[in-house]
């Protein structure tokens, strides 16, 4: 599927990609607060309310809610050979596992439940990517968004561990899916996302020392249709080409190093009784910058890459908001997605890498204690890079 070719004459795509904590996209639509009224909220995500000398990581892109607009269809199986199209959803039950023999399997901790589950049981399910609103063709002109196409990876599980310190590069201490999907790019067959949340209340002044942490780990497996598209990039969708570009440029500190976005959409806000101060952030994409570190092991398109997101590196207001919802998040039902941000018209529409619905993930409940090594990784890896582009 081809990209769109109606670039905005008003500004260069790179101007929008360079938005930082001191310079945000300013967006407004009828029926919402004016930019002046939302300035206090923007100050939080820009880091202007942080303590003196403290850097801020969480960058919530203040994008407007989309108007009703048809989503651009991105069928997974359109034009694929029958043997590929028939197996577009990875057969997770038949996966082989690789890694230390005595290590636990990744994605075996939280129960998968595609139907309704009891309120006191943490569960997860694959979510419909239509629950995520992403940038569509013409976004640079219209700022309109629409439903995402099918996910490029399939979630194979979720884990939660409590540890004495953050666990960096946790994948090397777990058994991972041995996915037999090869491509000629540097895009890994398996993606691991480890979100590390300190249990202690944040301090406004000074740096918090690494302490007890809850590690929420997601494992995503590439779909055969994505692997097929990577083998035929000339015919691939813009989102697949952007994914390839990300893993080509990001490891060397290129401009796409900070292009990973996370989206959380809580769908039972009132029932969950979450702090009202956080409601304006619901469904807003968050760029991973200072808090993110990649670890990867791949060869000839076979292997994995892990993104660690250390929320202890977020600005004070973001950490405070997260900590204030600690006891309420267990009542929440939310859709969670990961994607690469499209900053140029040729890279649109955006497409979710993988999405998952989490129910009642209680961070303050009875969480399994991690028995492995904590802190920085003890073993090297093929590549390691941060989510901060190198200065030119």
Going residue by residue through the chain (392 aa), what tens digit of pLDDT does each one get?
555 554 444 444 433 333 322 223 333 333 333 333 333 333 333 332 333 334 344 444 444 333 332 232 233 334 434 333 333 344 455 678 888 888 899 988 999 988 877 777 889 999 999 999 999 999 999 999 999 999 999 999 999 999 999 999 999 999 998 877 766 788 999 999 999 999 888 777 766 678 899 999 999 999 999 999 999 999 999 999 999 999 999 999 999 999 999 999 998 888 888 877 778 888 899 999 999 999 998 766 578 999 999 998 888 888 887 877 777 788 889 999 999 999 999 999 999 999 999 998 888 778 999 989 998 887 667 789 999 998 86
Question: CB neighbours of 168 closer than 8 A, spacing ≥ 6?
Answer: 293, 295, 308, 375, 376, 377
Task: Report yes or no on 2 lying in a domain.
Answer: no
**Angstrom distance (rounded) from CA 121 to CA 131:** 23
**List of E strands, the chain:** 59-60, 96-98, 111-112, 123-126, 133-135, 145-147, 153-163, 176-178, 190-198, 213-222, 260-266, 286-287, 292-299, 302-310, 333-340, 352-359, 383-386
Query: What is the pLDDT, as a whole number, of residue 124?
Result: 94
Total number of domains in the chain: 1
Task: Report yes or no on 288 lying in a domain.
Answer: yes
Place of tokens 């942080």: 50
Task: Report yes or no on 4 lying in a domain.
Answer: no
**What domain range includes position 343?**
13-386
Measured between alpha carbons, how far is residue 323 from residues 163, 242, 312 in Å? 17, 34, 11
Measured between alpha carbons, how far is residue 144 from residues 16, 19, 24, 316, 354 in Å? 15, 18, 17, 31, 22
Query: What is the pLDDT, as a whole number, of residue 204?
Result: 77
What is the pairing mode between strands 123-126 and 111-112?
Answer: parallel
Task: Report yes or no on 392 lying in a domain.
Answer: no
Nearest to 357 by CA among 226, 264, 261: 264
**Angstrom distance (rounded) from CA 338 to CA 355:** 7
Phi, psi of 41, deg, nearest 5: -65, -40
Task: Report yes or no on 192 lying in a domain.
Answer: yes
- Helices in the chain by DSSP H: which ranges? 13-17, 39-46, 82-85, 139-142, 224-231, 238-249, 269-272, 316-324
Task: Report yes or no on 391 lying in a domain.
Answer: no
Nearest to 21 by CA among 36, 42, 37: 42
CB 349 within 8 A of CB 136: yes
**Angstrom distance (rounded) from CA 123 to CA 130:** 20
Task: Report yes or no on 7 lying in a domain.
Answer: no
Task: Report yes or no on 1 lying in a domain.
Answer: no
Phi, psi of 159, deg, nearest 5: -125, 155
pTM of the entire structure?
A: 0.79
**Angstrom distance (rounded) from CA 61 to CA 258:** 13
Query: What is the pLDDT, as a whole number, of residue 270?
Result: 84
CB 168 within 8 A of CB 293: yes
């Amino acid at each position: 599927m081809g990209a769109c070719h109606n670039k905005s004459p008003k500004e260069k795509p790179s101007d929008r990609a360079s938005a930082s904590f001191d310079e945000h996209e300013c967006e407004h639509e009828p029926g919402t607060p004016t930019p002046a009224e939302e300035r206090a909220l923007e100050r939080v995500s820009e880091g202007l309310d942080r303590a003196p000398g403290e850097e801020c990581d969480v960058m919530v892109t203040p994008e407007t809610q989309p108007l009703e607009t048809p989503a651009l269809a991105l069928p997974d199986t359109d034009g694929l050979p029958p043997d590929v199209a028939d197996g577009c959803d990875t057969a997770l039950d038949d996966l082989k596992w690789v890694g230390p023999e005595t290590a636990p399997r990744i994605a075996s901790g939280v129960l998968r439940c595609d139907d309704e589950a009891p309120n006191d049981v943490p569960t997860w399910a694959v979510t419909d990517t239509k629950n995520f609103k992403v940038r569509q063709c013409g976004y640079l002109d219209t700022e309109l968004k629409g439903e995402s196409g099918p996910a490029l990876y399939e979630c194979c599980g979720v884990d939660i561990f409590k540890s004495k310190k953050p666990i960096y590069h946790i994948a090397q201490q777990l058994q991972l899916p041995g996915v037999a999907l090869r491509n000629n790019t540097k895009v890994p067959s398996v993606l691991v996302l480890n979100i590390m949340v300190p249990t202690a209340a944040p301090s406004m002044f000074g740096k918090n020392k690494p302490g007890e942490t809850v590690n929420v780990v997601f494992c995503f497996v590439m779909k055969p249709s994505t692997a097929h598209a990577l083998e035929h990039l000339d015919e691939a969708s813009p989102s697949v080409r952007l994914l390839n570009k990300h893993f080509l440029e990001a490891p060397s500190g290129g401009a796409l190093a900070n292009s990973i976005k996370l989206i959380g959409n809580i769908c039972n806000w009132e029932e969950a009784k979450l702090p009202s101060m956080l409601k304006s952030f619901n469904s807003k994409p968050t760029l991973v910058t200072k808090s993110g570190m990649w670890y990867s092991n791949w060869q000839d398109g076979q292997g994995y890459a892990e993104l660690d997101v250390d929320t202890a590196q977020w600005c004070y207001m973001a950490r405070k908001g997260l900590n204030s919802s600690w006891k309420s998040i267990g009542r929440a039902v939310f859709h969670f997605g990961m994607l690469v941000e499209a900053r140029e018209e040729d890279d649109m529409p955006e497409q979710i890498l993988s999405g998952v619905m989490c129910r009642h993930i209680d961070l303050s409940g009875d969480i399994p204690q991690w028995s492995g090594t904590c802190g920085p990784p003890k073993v090297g890896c093929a590549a390691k890079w941060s989510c901060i582009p190198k200065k030119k």
